[in-house]
């Protein structure tokens, strides 16, 4: 057998698989462990993107890891994946990343097959404490978790590899992972150590997770399998349109930069230049940053819509962001297989809300249909979307047991309309409705009168009056809100969802408990709806989860029936509060839905 690599852990070794003898030894260990103990699995790739190449695969237990090249031993890949599908206990940290790469090395098994017996230690860690390290938690990275639960001196593979890459002259981590010699001892050792540490971490986390959380463990793993399949499936990119949009946005940015230069700003990204030029033009700036400089961020510039310089700066920055954040990444993805495969993180936030990255489709601007138009249905298919109706307010009504809100929902009323009527009378104006809606979101997200005044475009006094009127009109909401904040501030600093999920927070931020509870429960309802859709046989149609909406595709001939089925499946009840969904047949391009809004606006 090739030389064994001794690790910083005295009782752990890494075994590179270099020849047929090594391969047989690896197979013997794999079969033996499969029958008696959990096996941890990991991959090393050329980068973090979906289409990046797998360089190494490693599997191991608490004392020993085997590391092999999948191109050299494809039969060992098949053996590993076949065993994963057959049963046993398999451990991974951030399972979607590695399972997606493994799935591309076999044509026999689906993502769901590969992931069905996997326990993701990242899910366990999030259920124990959803806070990141910066917020007072342990965090959810392998190194920080191992330092807390396994060994305070557990080796940091990322840090060691970064040092090794620098020593070898690689300027970035990505270039290092892509070009480091395959059998570099440091590279192989830390590849193997990751699975050894994962095997040691898992039982510690399992012991820490409350026994009452077993249903949440199953729930989160099921959601993870569904969304990972969505990533694998991907969504088609209209390459011709996207290329043209890239050119249009580049020209839009260049033109806006030229306009800004004529108006005295040589660099649109220089806040000092923009602030000075605006003041020369007679604009009265009123806010400063903590460092004492004039604030000219997006909100300030948007409030100066009649000023040519403000419009030019906004246009230049917006076009640049659109290209760099979305359009160019879509082109890069699309050049490989004509599709974009976004990373869907099912436990992105403390509240367990999801996020999308590579590229971040959840952050697409709602007032510009052009970027979403890059994403299209497959030939012969049409896009259909379904989302919850005013989910945050329905959750609020349930939690506060506010009868007037619940009755409005039961009567099929628009909650923002009914709130505006209670606050301002039946002859309320569109501005009144905007204020009523803003006050409600202020309860959900924790905004005060200043935020409401800025968003609604009214004076702070008017915003304060609207808030006071809301509190009088919905007294149970106010009592529930104050009681929750008081409990968190003076009692145990956590909120507990009806499902038993706990969200820890700091006492000084007790006011955030309202948002955490509402958003956490809304997130669970949405995740539950994905499971319902999957169980109803609609899983293969799901493309992208975006906030409280899921975008799907179906054969054009089935679109009407499919849209009805989506609504029926996603709708339900939360106590006595109906959770209603609505669907929309979008057509060939995702941007069609937003084009209608732009036309109607």
Query: What pLDDT does 596 receive?
Result: 58
When pLDDT is averaged across residues 454-471 and rounded to a whole number, the result is 82
* Structural contact between residues 26 and 68, judged by C-beta atoms closer than 8 angstroms: yes
Q: Kind of pairing, strands 235-237 and 375-376?
A: antiparallel
Sign of the four-CA dihedral 220, 225, 229, 232: positive
Residue 593 vs residues 230, 319, 357, 540: alpha-carbon distances, Å: 21, 21, 22, 22
CA dist., res. 596 & res. 583, Å (int): 15
Residue 399 vs residues 212, 237, 404, 557, 564: alpha-carbon distances, Å: 22, 41, 13, 41, 29
Residue 351 vs residues 161, 211, 299, 592: alpha-carbon distances, Å: 33, 20, 26, 31
pLDDT range class, residue 140, cuts 50, 70, 90? very high
* Structural contact between residues 10 and 155, judged by C-beta atoms closer than 8 angstroms: no
- On average, the pLDDT of the chain sits at 93
Residue 437 vs residues 224, 362, 417, 432, 443: alpha-carbon distances, Å: 33, 22, 8, 9, 10
In three state form, how does the secondary structure of 382-408 look? EEEEEEECCHHHHHHHHHHCCHHHHHH
Q: Quick one: how far is CA 513 from the chain centroid?
A: 21
CA dist., res. 317 & res. 300, Å (int): 14
Query: What pLDDT does 22 receive?
Result: 96
Neighbours of 561 (CB within 10 A): 10
- More confidently predicted of 243 and 172: 243
Interval 314-364: pLDDT, tens: 999 999 999 999 999 999 999 999 999 999 999 999 999 999 999 999 999
- Is pLDDT of 287 > 50? yes
Burial of residue 307, with CB atoms counted within 10 A of its CB: 0-12 exposed, 13-18 middle, 19 or more buried: middle
Percent of the chain as helix, strand, coil, to the nearest 5: 55, 15, 30
Element (H, E) at 600: helix 591-600
Query: What pLDDT does 373 receive?
Result: 97
Q: Which of 56, 55, 63, 118 shows the shortest CA–CA distance to 86? A: 118
CA dist., res. 203 & res. 206, Å (int): 5
Q: Which of 114, 123, 124 shows the shortest CA–CA distance to 90? A: 114
- Is pLDDT of 439 > 60? yes
List Cβ neighbours of 81 (8 Å cut-off, separation of 6 or more): 102, 105, 106, 108, 109, 114
80-84, 381-385, 442-446, 507-511, range with the lowest pLDDT: 442-446
CA dist., res. 50 & res. 301, Å (int): 37
Q: Kind of pairing, strands 577-579 and 572-574?
A: antiparallel
- Is pLDDT of 572 > 50? yes
Residue 582 vs residues 96, 358, 390, 568, 598: alpha-carbon distances, Å: 30, 28, 11, 9, 20
Interval 158-181: pLDDT, tens: 888 888 989 998 988 888 999 999
CA dist., res. 516 & res. 522, Å (int): 10
CA dist., res. 162 & res. 293, Å (int): 37
Total residues belonging to the chain: 601
When pLDDT is averaged across residues 427-449 and rounded to a whole number, the result is 85
- Is pLDDT of 452 > 90? no
Query: What pLDDT does 2 receive?
Result: 56
When pLDDT is averaged across residues 397-403 and rounded to a whole number, the result is 95
Sign of the four-CA dihedral 216, 222, 224, 230: negative
Q: Which of 528, 501, 493, 510 shows the shortest CA–CA distance to 128? A: 501
Burial of residue 587, with CB atoms counted within 10 A of its CB: 0-12 exposed, 13-18 middle, 19 or more buried: middle
Query: What pLDDT does 601 receive?
Result: 28
Interval 401-421: pLDDT, tens: 999 999 999 999 888 898 889
When pLDDT is averaged across residues 292-309 and rounded to a whole number, the result is 88
CA dist., res. 112 & res. 226, Å (int): 7
- Is pLDDT of 598 > 90? no
Query: What pLDDT does 435 receive?
Result: 86
**Mutual orientation of helices 449-456 and 460-473 as an angle, nearest 10°?**
110
Query: What pLDDT does 456 receive?
Result: 72
């Amino acid at each position: 057998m090739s030389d064994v690599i001794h690790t910083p852990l005295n009782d752990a070794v890494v075994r590179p698989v270099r020849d047929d003898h090594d391969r047989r030894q690896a197979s013997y260990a794999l079969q033996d462990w499969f029958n008696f103990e959990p096996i941890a699995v990991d991959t090393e790739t050329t980068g973090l993107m979906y289409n990046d190449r797998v360089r190494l695969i490693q599997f191991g237990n608490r004392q020993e890891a085997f590391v092999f090249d999948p191109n050299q031993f494809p039969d060992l890949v098949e053996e590993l994946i076949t065993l994963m599908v057959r049963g046993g206990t398999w451990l991974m940290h951030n399972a979607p990343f590695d399972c997606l790469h493994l799935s591309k090395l076999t044509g026999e098994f689906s993502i769901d097959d590969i992931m069905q017996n996997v326990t993701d230690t990242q899910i366990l860690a999030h259920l124990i404490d959803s806070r990141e390290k910066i917020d007072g938690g342990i965090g959810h990275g392998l190194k920080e978790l191992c330092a807390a639960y396994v060994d305070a001196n557990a080796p940091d593979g990322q840090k060691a590899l970064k040092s090794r890459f620098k020593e070898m002259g690689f300027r970035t981590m990505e270039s290092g992972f892509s070009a480091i010699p395959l059998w570099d001892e440091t590279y192989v050792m830390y590849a193997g150590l990751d699975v050894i540490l994962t095997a040691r971490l898992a039982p510690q986390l399992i012991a820490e997770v409350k026994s009452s959380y077993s249903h949440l463990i199953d729930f989160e793993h099921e959601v993870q399998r569904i969304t990972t399949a969505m990533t694998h499936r991907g969504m088609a990119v209209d390459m011709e349109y996207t290329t043209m949009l890239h050119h249009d946005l580049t020209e839009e940015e260049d033109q806006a930069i030229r306009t800004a230069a004529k108006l005295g700003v040589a660099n649109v990204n220089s806040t000092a230049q923009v602030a000075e030029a605006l003041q020369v033009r007679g604009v009265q700036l009123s806010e400063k940053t903590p460092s004492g400089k004039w604030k000219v961020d997006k909100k300030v510039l948007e409030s100066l819509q009649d000023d040519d310089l403000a419009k030019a700066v906004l246009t230049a920055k917006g076009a640049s962001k659109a290209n760099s954040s979305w359009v160019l990444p879509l082109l890069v993805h699309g050049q490989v297989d004509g599709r974009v495969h976004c990373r869907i993180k099912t436990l992105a936030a403390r509240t367990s809300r999801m996020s999308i990255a590579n590229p971040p489709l959840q952050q697409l601007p709602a007032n510009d249909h052009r970027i979403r138009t890059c994403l299209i249905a497959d030939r012969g298919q049409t896009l259909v979307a379904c989302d919850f109706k005013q989910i945050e307010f329905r959750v609020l009504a349930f939690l506060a047991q506010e009868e007037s809100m619940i009755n409005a929902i039961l009567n099929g009323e628009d909650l923002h309309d009914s709130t505006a009527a209670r606050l301002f009378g039946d002859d309320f104006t569109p501005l009144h409705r905007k204020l009523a809606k803003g006050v409600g979101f202020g309860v959900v997200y924790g905004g005060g009168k200043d935020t409401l005044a800025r968003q609604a475009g009214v004076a702070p006094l008017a915003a304060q009056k609207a808030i006071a009127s809301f509190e009088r009109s919905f007294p149970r909401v106010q009592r529930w809100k104050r009681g929750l904040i008081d409990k968190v501030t003076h009692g145990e600093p956590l909120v507990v969802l009806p499902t038993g999920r706990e969200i820890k927070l700091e006492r000084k931020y007790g006011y955030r408990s309202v948002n955490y509870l509402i958003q956490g429960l809304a997130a669970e309802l949405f995740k539950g709806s994905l499971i319902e859709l999957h169980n109803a046989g609609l899983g293969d149609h799901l493309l992208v989860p975006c906030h409280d909406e899921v975008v799907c595709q179906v054969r054009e001939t089935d679109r009407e029936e499919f849209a009805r089925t989506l609504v029926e499946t996603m709708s339900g009840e939360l106590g006595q509060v109906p959770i209603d969904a609505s669907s929309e047949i979008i057509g060939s391009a995702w941007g069609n839905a937003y084009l209608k809004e732009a036309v109607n606006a």
